[in-house]
Amino acid sequence: MISILTIATTTTMAAPIAECHGLRLSQKYVRLGPLRPLQVLPAILASYLMAAAACGIILRPSASDYNILTMAAAQAATTTPSSFQNSFLLPHNQARASVGVGPLRWDEALAGYAQSYAQQDAGQRQCQLVHSGGPYGENLFWGSGRTYGGRDAVAAWVAESSSYDYGSNACAPNAECGHYTQVVWRGSTAVGCAVQPCPDGRSTFITCNYSPPGNYVGQRPY
């Protein structure tokens, strides 16, 4: 069965929309179809809903598409990044865009892994910077004296870019750059992070996990 949705702009425009937030429109009214089977429609339509909202476009579904669109709206609401997620995603993706690498998406399974390990590390090792040894890429951060969050951790990792030489694909002598190369690793597509207060009450432990992992020896990050 082929389902058709009509997209109409809510404002009067002198010229057609060319592209807005990845939603390509050649005219004011666009018919989308054929669409995929019902079980995958919510994920597909959720992306259109979020793009439409950002572009000032409304979706006018047929009666038969109303339930599908309702499911998509619910999924769009649950998949829109929270302010906590964006505190990590935005600086990650800004760094990645600066070297021509696609954005990371938030992954709840990775975030759950990160939170579990952060709590374990805080409880057993007093927030020492010891890697979990798990199957994912991993960046760690520790800060003391004030409250730290996602932007602080990512900024510290990205600051290592000055110590990375693309030509030799190596860090500067006596310098670290592995956190940065994981941030911009082209093959990594998903991230999940956690912020954990430390037992001393004055410091913060932050961890991010990446899938697929990066930093393979002999490979460039981008």
| Confidence at residue 17, expressed as pLDDT on a 0 to 100 scale | 37
* DSSP per-residue string spanning 188-200: --EEEEEEEE-TT
| Confidence at residue 5, expressed as pLDDT on a 0 to 100 scale | 37
Cβ pair 2, 34 in contact under 8 A: yes
By percentage, how much of the chain surpasses pLDDT 70?
64
Could you report the per-residue pLDDT of 55-89, keeping only the tens digit for each? 555 555 555 555 555 555 555 445 578 999 999 99
Amino acid at 156: A
pLDDT category at 4 given cuts 50, 70, 90 is: very low
Cβ pair 157, 129 in contact under 8 A: no
Could you report the per-residue pLDDT of 51-63, keeping only the tens digit for each? 555 555 555 555 5
Q: Please check the confidence at residue 37 and state whether its pLDDT lies above 80.
A: no
Q: Rounded to an integer, what distance in angstroms lies between the CA atom of residue 57 and that of residue 173?
A: 53
Q: Please check the confidence at residue 205 and state whether its pLDDT lies above 50.
A: yes
Could you report the per-residue pLDDT of 170-200, keeping only the tens digit for each? 999 999 999 999 999 999 999 999 999 999 9
Element (H, E) at 115: helix 108-125
Two tokens, residue 114: 């990160």
Q: Rounded to an integer, what distance in angstroms lies between the CA atom of residue 100 and that of residue 208?
A: 21
Could you report the per-residue pLDDT of 38-54, keeping only the tens digit for each? 333 444 455 455 555 55
Query: Average per-residue pLDDT in the chain?
Result: 78
Cβ pair 118, 207 in contact under 8 A: yes
Mean pLDDT value of segment 135-151:
96
Cβ pair 104, 92 in contact under 8 A: yes
How many angstroms from the chain centroid is the CA of residue 72?
20
Count of CA atoms in the C-beta half-sphere (13 A) of 46:
15
Q: Helices 66-79 and 41-55 meet at what angle, rounded to 10?
A: 70
| Confidence at residue 42, expressed as pLDDT on a 0 to 100 scale | 46
| Confidence at residue 81, expressed as pLDDT on a 0 to 100 scale | 83
